[in-house]
Structure 1
Amino acid sequence: MITLEWLRENIRKETYQLSSHASEECDNENILLEDIEEAILGGEILESYADRQDIRGESCLILGRGRGRRQIHIVAARSNKGELRIVTAYLPRPPKWVDERVRG
């Protein structure tokens, strides 16, 4: 299971990868790499996808705050090699999200 400690350790050591999808979403949402790092360091795991048979491996949804205290969602995965991969990052908004914690 992915833990906050493991996520934060990888962020502090800068031992993670940003997927091309995450990079594109960050550009679209005006989310900087520093926002992702800050959100993970101070955030919480909202959902864990440990039981899914997903091509990206074990993953989780993180809620944290970036610049200006903006709420950011980050999907992070542990690759088969045990590496942290940021799958995507976005600002939670309707209609997909009622608020930052509740799906629409």
Structure 2
Amino acid sequence: MFERSLSPALVEAVIASGEIIQQYPHDQPFPSRLILGWRDATPVHVVVAQDAASGDCIVVTAYIPNPALWSTDFKTRRNR
């Protein structure tokens, strides 16, 4: 996250108001989800896991998706 110049405030904003584009209910130790948000015109993906017992969210990763790997709306991975 920090290596990619994505601030904690931006990551929190994506988590709070972004769109869930993929759910990973079988991830361990907690289910996770991929969220799409935007910084101006730049897409941002954030993967978070959530501990259902405590409600805590754990940021797994945050990155700017590569357009070569994602559809133009950044919601679907391209076929390789």
What's the TM-score, normalizing by structure 1?
Answer: 0.62
Task: Structure 1 unaligned segments of length 5 or more: list them.
Answer: 1-25
1:103 equivalent to 2:77? Answer yes
Of structures 1 and 2, the one with the larger relative CO (CA 8 A, separation 6+) is 1
Task: Structure 2 unaligned segments of length 5 or more: list them.
Answer: none
SS at match of 2:13: helix
In the TM superposition, structure 1's runs of 4+ consecutive aligned residues that sit over 6 Å from their partners are none
Question: Number of aligned pairs?
Answer: 76
8 Å CA contact 1:38, 1:65 repeated in 2: no
Name the residue aligned to 1:74.
Answer: 46
SS at match of 2:12: helix
% identity of equivalent residues: 30
Q: 1:1-104, aligned counterparts within 5 Å?
A: 26-50=1-25, 52=26, 54-66=27-39, 68-79=40-51, 81-82=53-54, 83-99=56-72, 100-104=74-78
User: Alignment RMSD, CA only?
Assistant: 1.8
Structure having the larger proportion of residues in strand: 2
SS at match of 1:61: strand
